[in-house]
Amino acid sequence: MTMVDATVLKANPLREGLRIERPVESCTLVIFGASGDLTRRKLLPALFNLAQQNLLPHGFSVLGVARTSMDQDQFRDRMREGIGLSGANGPAEGPWASFAQGLYYLSADPHQAGDFSRIKTALEQIDHERGTRGRKIFYLALPPSSYPAVVENLGQAGLSRGDDSSGEWVRIIVEKPFGRDLESARQLNRAIHRVFGENQIYRIDHYLGKETVQNILVLRLANGIFEPIWNRRYVDSVQITAAEILGVENRGAYYEEAGLLRDMLQNHLLQLLCLTAMEPPVAFDAESVRDEKVKVLRTIRPFTVGEVRHFAVRGQYGTGSLLGRQVPAYRAEPNVSPHSQIETYAALRFFVDNWRWADVPFYLRSGKRLPKQVTEIAVRFKQPPHLLFGRSTASLLDPNVLALRIQPDEGISLKFEAKLPGQGMLLRPVIMDFRYGSSFGDDLPSAYETLLLDCMQGDATLFTRSDEVECAWGLMAPILEAWQNEGTEFPNYEAGSWGPLVADELIERDGRQWRRL
């Protein structure tokens, strides 16, 4: 692994200045669930990329832990293969050999308290060999039902605290989903807090690690022109869309438990809403940013179970045609009940009841098997107060829209009216477009690179705090309850269409329409 001194870290201009500069201290990342796909496809490729950019500290090591019986070499081969899948040609011999020196594997069952003495011994040995000095991050790449037991075992084994006086520290990264409703999220928070302090806990929402998501705050707060108009006086409404072409693929069993509201809305889309609506934080640090996000969640107008239909609608895809091929209905996907009542589409309408946003609707929608892969935040501005260019044009005027394209084709565009060249006063909307690719190159760091590095630095700005997660679940509570109690006629949208009719009705009742993407 290529190692560099902490002082020259984070030289990447895309990263610089965004978060607090902190040194990255040498440490061991212990991955529970190391034989799984997340480790091979996401975590190790992210770490390898960081190593290639000289962003990892000297001696940084990975200890993979899983029940699968494998020796060190087999583990390294598996990880190399995973990294190969994410890049064109796979890692070159030299860089790989140096990176692989820091990869260790231990076959152990993290549910068995008895196996933790071996984990402890392996960590001591790595500290000794690699100079990681008792600094560790535990990564729970496991099914959520395992979290409480593994956390308790870590506590009992004395692995949850470091000796501050000798510079040791311990952190834990918890993958989503964090609970499945308010009560289970509270229970999970309590279980983890019994062993770890909140400042040691890093709850992942990979959306927050996306370069374009971090750029929302830069756009708003590093430019003088946007913030003065970022409020109810000028903004008509906000639409946040995360559309996916893919169906549930081989994740039917998980989806039958989760559904789209839990999988996408409660976490990713609410995070986008928070970053769009929050007040400028007093500083760009974890507590200040998260305080402001929590305030947004707290100000979202509550509604009762009986009112849910005015605020939230759902859909499930039937069979249809997408990209020229016929695709099966959700109910015909593997491990899905033929009578499933689980939603694969949801649209919500929220109001952020504060001085800045009173009565400005925030529309959120997400769905599987939609015609296009696109995630964006579109801020639609009010029409000019008085129109000079003839009555006939007034109704034809397109509103100004600032669209933040999160992915793909990352960028920001502004739509405004221009005069069509020629005689007469004909107006046409035109688009001013910024593209990451053409301005900075296509090589954006993956969300996991950013998040892993932040955790090593002890920067929790891009991770969700316990109160934030609970507030988000609180908002979903009436919707989950209403949907659980009332059946719906599913399927109600064709694969390859833009979702169910009820979603159009939700927004059309307000005299608006979903953006055509």
Please list the active-site residues.
Answer: 268
User: Cα–Cα distance between 45 and 30 in angstroms, integer?
Assistant: 16
Contacts of 145 (CB under 8 A, 6+ apart): none
| Residue 376 interacting with ligand BG6 (CB under 6 A) | no
Q: Which two tokens stand for residue 398?
A: 């397109």
Residue 248 Cβ vs ligand BG6, minimum distance, rounded to whole Å: 8
Structure tokens at 396: 């034809």
Tell me the chain's radius of gyration from C-alpha atoms.
Answer: 24
Closest CB to ligand BG6 among residues 43, 108: 43
449 binds ligand BG6 (CB under 6 A): no
Give the number of residues written for the chain: 517
Q: Which of 416, 25, 405 is nearest to 241 (CA)?
A: 405
Contact between 468 and ligand BG6 per CB under 6 A: no
Closest to 50 measured CA to CA, from 88, 104, 85, 102: 102
Find the shortest distance in angstroms from Cβ 205 to ligand BG6: 8
CB of 92 to ligand BG6, least distance (A): 27
Q: How far is the CB of 255 from ligand BG6 (least distance, A)?
A: 8
> Least CB distance from residue 375 to ligand BG6, whole Å?
6
Of residues 27-86, those binding ligand BG6 (CB under 6 A): none
Residue with nearest beta carbon to ligand BG6: 263
**Reduced to 3 states, what is the DSSP secondary structure of residue 510?**
coil
Name the nearest CA neighbour of 159 among 197, 119, 127: 119
450 CB contacts (<8 Å, ≥6 apart)? 15, 209, 211, 214, 462
Q: Are strands 345-351 and 361-367 parallel, antiparallel or unpaired?
A: antiparallel
CB of 150 to ligand BG6, least distance (A): 21
298 to 95, 121, 283, 471, 472: CA distances (angstroms): 48, 45, 20, 7, 9
One-character DSSP codes across 417-473:
EEEPSSSS--EEEEEEEEEHHHHH-S-PPPHHHHHHHHHHHT--TTSB-HHHHHHHH
CA gap 379, 104 in Å, rounded: 48
Q: Rule CB under 6 A: say whether 263 interacts with ligand BG6.
A: yes
Location of structure tokens 């402001």: 292
**Distances from the Cα of 109 to the Cα of 68, 106, 139, 150, 278, angstroms:** 9, 9, 14, 9, 42
Let me know: does 241 contact 268? Beta carbons within 8 Å: no
| Joined tokens for residue 486 | 């009332």
- Facing residues of 320 across strands? 327
Work out whether 244 is an interface residue with ligand BG6 (CB under 6 A). Answer: yes
Write down the residue that tokens 């946007």 correspond to: 226
Transcribe 51-120 into DSSP letters.
HHTT-SBTT-EEEEEESS---HHHHHHHHHHHHHHHSSS---HHHHHHHHTTEEEEE--TT-GGGHHHHH
Residues that bind ligand BG6 (CB under 6 A): 244, 263, 375
